[in-house]
Amino acid sequence: MARWSSTILHPALHSWREELPATFVRVSAYLCGIGLLSIAAAELFQSTPVIEPINPAHRSEWIAIERPLAAFALDIPEAAGVPASYVIRRNVEGGGRKDILTMGEAQDAAPFLEVEIYRPGRELGHFADTDDDLAAHAAEAGAIAAQRQDEPLQSKFGTLSILAFDVTAPALRHCLGFLRDFDDPTAATPLLQLSGRFCQGSGYVGRSTLACALDRLTLLAAASEPKIGALFAHAELNRHFCGERDPIIAPTPKYKLLWQALATRPEPRRIGR
């Protein structure tokens, strides 16, 4: 039987075998070129991706100071056992300081007293209008039916602007808000604001009761601020001691109304009822 030699092939087969690698290379090059053009076109004509705006985390203007060193005191012995707190807040930008003293629970029907002493730093050059500030403080407390009192409150710190208002959450409470600015540049007093509120669940807080409560606000330390020391020293000269030094009303001093009798004090009758 005759053998077929591997070297004897049809000329057409020889041509196809020799051209196959070159054809494969050309096709691959074409495909790569088309792929590169597609990628370039996609990059060129694609729409700009939508980037969600990044909202910065809310940073409070005021921060609470851990382990605050008290500069003021609110000494009411007859309120022994009543929850009390002392908080100091610093302004992040200007360095101002707020000392906030409270006695009682803000959400309770029992008497609640809050006193704030604000000493501004670089964040404030002067205080706003007294009525506006007083209304803003009451609004922060959730005030309704606010009634500006024409007659100011007389206290050992001088005259205080006051605002009567009600708070309904979680229950009805009657409050007296108070505020006094010390910002006279010609006087030997510091830039300071004294404000706060006195609330209770039944009856209305009397002016004398609030004045008696503020009578107990004293200074503990202000070595770096002699003007504050002078302010409180002058206030002590005007202290009424809640009627204890008055021979007429000394047997029933007003301070007893703060917590012992105030909670059960009946609401006064209104004219026209």
Do residues 149 and 133 lie in contact, with contact meaning Cβ atoms separated by under 8 Å?
A: no
Query: What are the start-end ranges of the H helices in the chain?
Result: 11-45, 130-140, 207-215, 226-237
| Average pLDDT score over residue span 199-211 | 81
Structure tokens at 89: 């807040």
How many angstroms separate the CA atoms of 244 and 254, rounded? Answer: 8
Which range among 53-67, 71-85, 180-194, 247-261 shows the weakest confidence by mean pLDDT? 247-261
Q: Would you state the pLDDT for residue 208?
A: 84
Residue 195: pLDDT band (50, 70, 90) is: very high
Most confidently predicted of 6-15, 56-65, 85-94, 244-253: 85-94
Q: Would you state the pLDDT for residue 257?
A: 54
**Residue 49: count of CB within 10 angstroms of its CB:** 5
Q: Would you state the pLDDT for residue 270?
A: 40
Whether the pLDDT of residue 226 is over 80: the answer is yes
Structure tokens at 179: 């505020």
- Residue 249 carries which side chain, given as an amino acid letter? I
Which range among 31-35, 90-94, 125-129, 189-193 shows the weakest confidence by mean pLDDT? 31-35
Give the Å distances, CA to CA, from 237 to 38, 189, 216, 233.
90, 16, 13, 7
Whether the pLDDT of residue 248 is over 50: the answer is no
**For the whole prediction, is pTM greater than 0.75?**
no
| Average pLDDT score over residue span 44-54 | 58
Q: Would you state the pLDDT for residue 243?
A: 60
Give the Å distances, CA to CA, from 58 to 29, 61, 90.
57, 9, 17
How many angstroms separate the CA atoms of 71 and 76, rounded? Answer: 17
Which range among 26-35, 123-132, 249-258 shows the weakest confidence by mean pLDDT? 249-258
Give the Å distances, CA to CA, from 39 to 23, 25, 34, 247.
24, 21, 9, 99
Q: Would you state the pLDDT for residue 54?
A: 58
Which range among 84-98, 156-170, 201-215 shows the weakest confidence by mean pLDDT? 201-215
Write down the residue that tokens 């007293």 correspond to: 113
Which has the higher per-residue pLDDT, 180 or 10? 180
For 234-255, b where at least 16 C-beta lie within 10 A, e where not — what string?
ebeeebbebbeeeeeeeeebbb
Which residues have a Cβ under 8 Å from the Cβ of 223 and sit 6 or more positions away? none
Mean pLDDT (the chain) is 77
Count of residues making up the chain: 273
Q: Would you state the pLDDT for residue 25?
A: 60
Which has the higher per-residue pLDDT, 47 or 141? 141
Q: pLDDT tens digit string along 125-163?
A: 889 899 999 999 999 988 887 887 778 999 999 999 999
Query: What are the start-end ranges of the H helices in 119-243?
Result: 130-140, 207-215, 226-237
| Average pLDDT score over residue span 89-107 | 92
Residue 235: pLDDT band (50, 70, 90) is: very high
Query: What are the start-end ranges of the H helices in 159-269?
Result: 207-215, 226-237
Which residues have a Cβ under 8 Å from the Cβ of 89 and sit 6 or more positions away? 62, 63, 64, 65, 97, 98, 100
Q: Would you state the pLDDT for residue 193?
A: 95
For 148-185, b where at least 16 C-beta lie within 10 A, e where not — what string?
ebeeebebbbeebbbbbbbbeeeeebbbbbbbbbbeee
